[in-house]
Amino acid sequence: MNALVELSDAHVVYRARGGGVFTRDRVYALTGADLAVAPGETVGVVGESGCGKSTLAKVLVGVVRPTSGTVYFKGRDLWSLPAAERRATVGASTGMVFQDPSTALNRRLPVRQILRDPLDVHDRGSRAGRAERVRELMALVGLPRALGDALPGQLSGGQRQRVAIARALALDPDLVIADEPTSALDVSVRAQILNLLLDLRERLGLALVFVSHDIQTVRRMSDRVITMYLGRIVEETPADRVTDRARHPYTRALFSATPGLLDPIDPIPLAGPVPSATRPPSGCPFRTRCWKADDRCASVMPDFSAASHPGHRYRCHHPVEEEQSTRDLVRQSLPREPP
Ligand SMILES: Nc1ncnc2c1ncn2[C@@H]1O[C@H](COP(=O)(O)OP(=O)(O)OP(=O)(O)O)[C@@H](O)[C@H]1O
């Protein structure tokens, strides 16, 4: 099936924040990303803070322009289109749901107007048609009609996120990016919002890119899981294999650290924090924290290797054996006592 959106060797380099206009420090937020998202599929993105998950998501929907590389949206080279055409193409086909609905929604507008806005901007339908679409959207996300006149500040966190989701769906997109959609919500409403997203995905046939720190949720929501480390996609795994069949040591370490495994274990220990994205390590960026790293890892970034299972690929010189248990890896990776 043709990809809805496809990145080819996409890089994003930002000027470091807080360094002033003359700073020469650069942040390597995304490096050499190749990724295709097919219609109707859910791609989960995991990785520690600052690994480039949001940047990847923003590049996919044309919010951030890659410093180099190509974004094909429905087969068209997005950044070679005239600006108005690019905005119309992406704007009408994608929606974004962010972490914090209280900052993502205009506090001065009633719900009805927030939902009408995208229809007005893209000149969709008649006046009556737009009013009808707003009613439809509210019903779709389970918001009572009476809340149409409410301001965001009068709603609960869960209701606000429902408004944000309805707004993302206003133009009937093919692709929705959900960037940490539940992390600002009370635990009690998280499951409701996740179930709503799953339900909408089924009913509307949406492709979903789901970014989250909560990697067990990513696993549950996704068809495929992308692991990012310091701006690189280091593994792509079918979601049902990610906990115990992932081949990249970093993916295994991430998933070992989450509660909810049937047979709880101590997590695989990683040495120190993620290095700065301003000066990523040479070779494989994960090598400074990896218990398997050797000289080759310090000099050569591994290419993608295909695992035996279709749809599974990883970048590692010393991949974990397919059958190796995470429990065994925990033992291997523990710091050794000095002799
Ligand atoms: N506009 C920007 N200007 C400069 N640096 C930026 C900008 N946006 C992001 N960065 C930096 O780029 C790197 C990747 O950021 P990004 O937000 O994509 O990571 P992330 O994995 O989504 O992190 P988090 O989980 O904390 O949201 C980080 O080092 C971040 O500080």
**Structure ipTM:** 0.98
Least confident of 42-56, 235-249, 250-264: 250-264
Q: Is the pLDDT of residue 101 over 90?
A: no
User: 0.90 exceeded by the pTM?
Assistant: yes
Please give the number of the atom of ligand 1 that sits closest to the Cα of 58. 18
Which residue ranges have their beta carbon within 6 Å of ligand 1?
14, 17, 27, 29, 47, 49-55, 277
Q: What is the DSSP letter of 19?
A: S
Give the start-to-end residue ranges of the domains of the chain: 5-222, 245-333
Give the pLDDT band (50/70/90) at residue 323: confident
Cα 231 to ligand 1 centroid, rounded to whole Å: 9
H and E: helices and strands count for the chain:
12, 12
3-state secondary structure of 331: helix
Q: What angle do CA 39, 43, 44 make, to 5 degrees?
A: 160
Task: Check residue 19 and give its pLDDT.
Answer: 63
Among 237, 213, 229, residue whose Cα is nearest residue 293: 229
Cα 6 to ligand 1 centroid, rounded to whole Å: 21
Please give the number of the atom of ligand 1 that sits closest to the Cα of 16. 4
Q: Tell me phi and psi for residue 228, to 5 degrees.
A: -115, 140
The residue whose CA has the least distance to atom 28 of ligand 1 is 50
More confident residue, 326 or 285: 285
> Distance between CA atoms of 255 and 243, rounded to whole angstroms?
6
> Distance between CA atoms of 179 and 125, rounded to whole angstroms?
29
> Distance between CA atoms of 9 and 36, rounded to whole angstroms?
11
Question: Which tens digit of pLDDT belongs to each residue from 253-283?
Answer: 998 876 655 556 678 888 888 999 999 999 9
Cα 50 to ligand 1 centroid, rounded to whole Å: 5
Question: Which tens digit of pLDDT belongs to each residue from 21-32?
Answer: 666 789 999 999
Task: Check residue 103 and give its pLDDT.
Answer: 82
Q: Is the pLDDT of residue 43 over 90?
A: yes
In single-letter form, the type of residue at position 80 comes to: S
Helix then strand then coil, in percent of the chain rounded to 5, is 40, 20, 40
Other beta carbons within 10 angstroms of residue 238's beta carbon come to 17
Contact 244, 219 (CB under 8 A): no
Other beta carbons within 10 angstroms of residue 150's beta carbon come to 17
Q: What is the DSSP letter of 126?
A: -
Q: What is the DSSP letter of 309?
A: S
The residue assigned the tokens 């696993």 is: 219
Contact 238, 308 (CB under 8 A): no
Strands (E), the chain: 5-15, 26-37, 42-46, 68-73, 76-77, 94-97, 175-179, 207-211, 224-229, 232-238, 305-306, 313-314
Q: Is the pLDDT of residue 240 over 60?
A: yes
Cα 52 to ligand 1 centroid, rounded to whole Å: 6
> Distance between CA atoms of 146 and 280, rounded to whole angstroms?
52
Cα 55 to ligand 1 centroid, rounded to whole Å: 7
Please provide the distance, in angstroms rounded to a whole number, between the alpha carbons at the two ends of the chain: 57
Task: Check residue 334 and give its pLDDT.
Answer: 75
The residue whose CA has the least distance to atom 18 of ligand 1 is 52
Cα 95 to ligand 1 centroid, rounded to whole Å: 20
Q: Is the pLDDT of residue 237 over 60?
A: yes
Give the pLDDT band (50/70/90) at residue 244: confident
| Cα dihedral sign, 175-179-182-185 | negative
The residue whose CA has the least distance to atom 23 of ligand 1 is 50
Task: Check residue 270 and give its pLDDT.
Answer: 85
The chain-wide mean pLDDT, for the chain, equals: 91
The pLDDT of 270-299, averaged and rounded, is 93
CATH fit for domain 5-222, picks 3.40.50.300, 3.40.605.10, 3.40.30.10, 3.30.590.10: 3.40.50.300
Q: Is the pLDDT of residue 18 over 80?
A: no
Q: Is the pLDDT of residue 339 over 80?
A: no
Cα 8 to ligand 1 centroid, rounded to whole Å: 20
Question: Which tens digit of pLDDT belongs to each residue from 164-195?
Answer: 999 999 999 999 999 999 988 988 899 999 99
Our mutation pick for probing the ligand 1 site, out of 12, 27, 49, counting the most ligand atoms within 8 A of Cβ, is 27
Share of the chain above pLDDT 90, in %: 71
Question: Which tens digit of pLDDT belongs to each residue from 50-85?
Answer: 999 999 999 999 999 999 999 999 999 999 999 999
Task: Check residue 338 and give its pLDDT.
Answer: 56
Task: Check residue 140 and give its pLDDT.
Answer: 96
Q: Is the pLDDT of residue 327 over 90?
A: no
Task: Check residue 288 and give its pLDDT.
Answer: 95
More confident residue, 289 or 328: 289
Residues 6+ apart with CB under 8 A from 54: 179, 211
Please give the number of the atom of ligand 1 that sits closest to the Cα of 51. 21
